[in-house]
């Protein structure tokens, strides 16, 4: 058990809908990362938050947004869903040291299926 | 975009044999990490090697880093069926800010 909690584990929805994925980082970790894993794109970095502020942004679509709350949990919002958004979405957390990215602790992921 | 390219894409060996996976990357890094993923599960951190280190060991794992060639290798000795998983290298690039960029992974199958 990594200590990172992601909910829900599975999500099935229709095109055009909006969903929210939730992540609780390990106790004491200030950084939260979101990744998307699909067969054709591999593991793609989406966005990172540190102590409530956006720190780095990857190839995140404009239809996607995220935030980190004062209690450090994070939510990833996906809207106007398309078939191609079907993927495994991972949250990871770390203790940001300011000297590069240290080891990440991954949650078990949310499997999103857009039908 | 993928920073790391891993080789081979798939590797099948017998229990007790050693498994070697390679990773190449393109830009300067702060560190390079290896992760393991069992089918559809979350990734688990295995080992981190910093840019000023050349070799690191952890149990049955040995990682090397050659920054002049921008490459790393992961050696798993005396493999077990339980080592069957996908293995990913991930780089913390100097210019990319706070993120890890993952390679495409090597699927390792250890046959009992």
Tens-place pLDDT, residues A64-111: 999 999 999 999 999 999 999 999 999 999 987 565 788 999 999 999
Residue B3: predicted pLDDT: 60
For residue B22, count CB atoms less than 10 angstroms from its CB and return exposed for 0-12, middle for 13-18, buried for 19 or more. middle
**DSSP conformational letter for B83:** G
Q: How confident is the model at residue B40 (pLDDT cuts 50, 70, 90)?
A: confident
Indicate yes or no: CB of A56 within 8 angstroms of CB of B99. yes
Indicate yes or no: CB of A101 within 8 angstroms of CB of B100. yes
Residues on B contacting A at a C-beta cutoff of 8 Å: 1-2, 30-31, 33, 35, 40-45, 48, 88, 92, 96-105
From the list A42, A48, A100, the residue facing B30 with the nearest CB is A100
For residue A22, count CB atoms less than 10 angstroms from its CB and return exposed for 0-12, middle for 13-18, buried for 19 or more. middle
Three-state SS for B33? strand
Closest chain B residue to the Cα of A34, Cα to Cα:
B99
Host H or E run for residue B73:
strand B71-76
Indicate yes or no: CB of A56 within 8 angstroms of CB of B96. yes
From the list A45, A100, A103, the residue facing B45 with the nearest CB is A103
Provide the shortest C-alpha distance from residue A32 to chain B (in Å).
10
Provide the shortest C-alpha distance from residue B58 to chain A (in Å).
15
Indicate yes or no: CB of B40 within 8 angstroms of CB of A100. no
> What average pLDDT does the segment A4-29 reach?
97
What is the pLDDT of chain A when averaged over all its residues?
94
Summarize pLDDT for A23-68 with one digit per residue, the tens. 999 999 999 999 999 988 889 999 999 999 998 899 899 999 999 9
Residue B98: predicted pLDDT: 78
Residue B1: predicted pLDDT: 43
Residue A97: predicted pLDDT: 59
What is the pLDDT of chain B when averaged over all its residues?
93
């Amino acid at each position: 058990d990594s200590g990172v909690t992601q909910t829900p584990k599975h999500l099935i929805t229709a095109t055009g809908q909006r969903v929210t994925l939730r992540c609780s980082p390990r106790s004491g970790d200030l950084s939260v990362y979101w990744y998307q894993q699909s067969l054709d794109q591999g593991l793609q970095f989406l966005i990172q938050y540190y102590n409530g502020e956006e720190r780095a942004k990857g190839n995140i679509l404009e239809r996607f947004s995220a935030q980190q709350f004062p209690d450090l949990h994070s939510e990833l919002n996906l809207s106007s869903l398309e078939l191609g958004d079907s993927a495994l979405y991972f949250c990871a957390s770390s203790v940001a040291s300011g000297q590069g990215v240290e080891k990440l602790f991954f949650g078990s992921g949310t499997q999103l299926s857009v039908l | 975009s993928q920073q790391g390219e891993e080789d081979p894409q798939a590797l099948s060996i017998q229990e007790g044999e050693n498994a070697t996976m390679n990773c190449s990357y393109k830009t300067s890094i702060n560190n390079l990490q290896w992760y393991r993923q069992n089918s559809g599960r979350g990734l688990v951190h295995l080992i981190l090697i910093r840019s000023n280190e050349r070799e690191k060991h952890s149990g049955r794992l040995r990682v090397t880093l050659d920054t002049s060639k921008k490459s790393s290798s992961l050696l798993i000795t005396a493999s077990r069926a339980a080592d069957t998983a996908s293995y990913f290298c991930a780089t913390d690039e100097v210019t990319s800010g706070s993120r890890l960029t993952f390679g495409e992974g090597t699927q390792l199958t250890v046959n009992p």
